[in-house]
Each structure stands twice: as C-alpha cells, then as structure tokens.
Structure 1
Amino acid sequence: MTTELTLRTGTGPDGAVVLTVAGEIDMSNAGVFADALTEAVAGADGSRLVVDLTAVQYLDSAGLAALFAQADHIEVRTGQLLAPLLEISGLTELTTIHRA
C-alpha cells in the first residue's frame, strides 16, 4: 500500500523554485519523491530550490536518502516535527535548513 504523498512545484515570493511536499515519505513512495526532487533541481536551472517539508508528518530513511542525494542543490524548509531528525541525520551540515 502506498502512503499518501502530495508534491507541487511553484515559485516562491522571492523567485525561488519551491517543491512543496505534504503527507508521509516512506519506502513506498520515496522513489516518487526522489524523482520529483530530481525534476525540480533540473527545472530550477541554477536558481534556488527550496524543498518545503512543513506539511510532512513522517520521513523515513528512504526519504532522507533522497534529500541527501540532492543536498548540494537544495535548501529545506521544515517545521518542528522534522527539524530534530534533519539535525541528527547530519543534513543540516550539508544544506541550509529553514525552520518555519
């Protein structure tokens, strides 16, 4: 069974490309998430890409791996729920994390 995941790409008020993610990211849909990240990085074409995880309620190691694979090309916006996970995982050492 696939876990519900919503992905939307748009432009933020500052002109940055924003990939907004909602739901849960786990091994059942991490491939879809990774593909969306890859597409968003390519579509950003050198512009800032912000991955907005504020509406994500769950992120497992497969989702983290997708973020790590693109760490050089993204910034992450997160809420209180995922912030400790991103810090413990070491992602905060590789990319900019914005707390919402």
Structure 2
Amino acid sequence: MPLRDDCAGFSPHVAMVQRDHVPLEWREPYPVLERVRVTAWTCACLAMVYELCAGAGQGFIRRTVQHDQGHRVHQTRLWPIDEARAVWTGVLSGRAR
C-alpha cells in the first residue's frame, strides 16, 4: 500500500473497503496465546489501526480505534499463520474488514 501524501509515517494505510469485501467477526479482546508479537501494522495517523499478531504458529488481526477519550480494541479469531497473513493482505487491500 502506498503512503499518503500528507503522512510522514512508514507503515501502510488500508485501502477503502471494497463492495464485495469479506466481513470479519470482531470480538472483544481475550487471551488467545500465552505469547504474541505484532509482526505488521498500519499507520497510526488514522483513527483505526490494524495489527497482524502471531505466536505459536497462529495469528489474528487486532483492530484499535483511537479516540480522544482512549481507545477501543477488538480482534479476530485465530487462524494458522499463513491464513492470518492472507487475511492481513485482504485487510490492507480492502477485500476484508
């Protein structure tokens, strides 16, 4: 994903959601893995930030909506890491939300 002209960040921005996108089920955060690391993320210049999280061969997408009063976090279910990476590509391209 190209960077926006008005942003000095180095992380990608998500594309506009596509009409035929795959809707993801967003859940309240829950302890899914004992150890997890963020392996990719979108630019924090926008109110909604996405992260690809991985651990123990599995992965999920975390979505954070930033507000003046704080932030709200949701996450998807777990997938095998290769499937989570494919969903991540869908999020970036607007084909999944």
TM-score when scaled to structure 1? 0.26
Give the helix-richer structure, 1 or 2.
1
TM-score when scaled to structure 2? 0.27
Give 1 or 2 for the bigger CA radius of gyration: 2
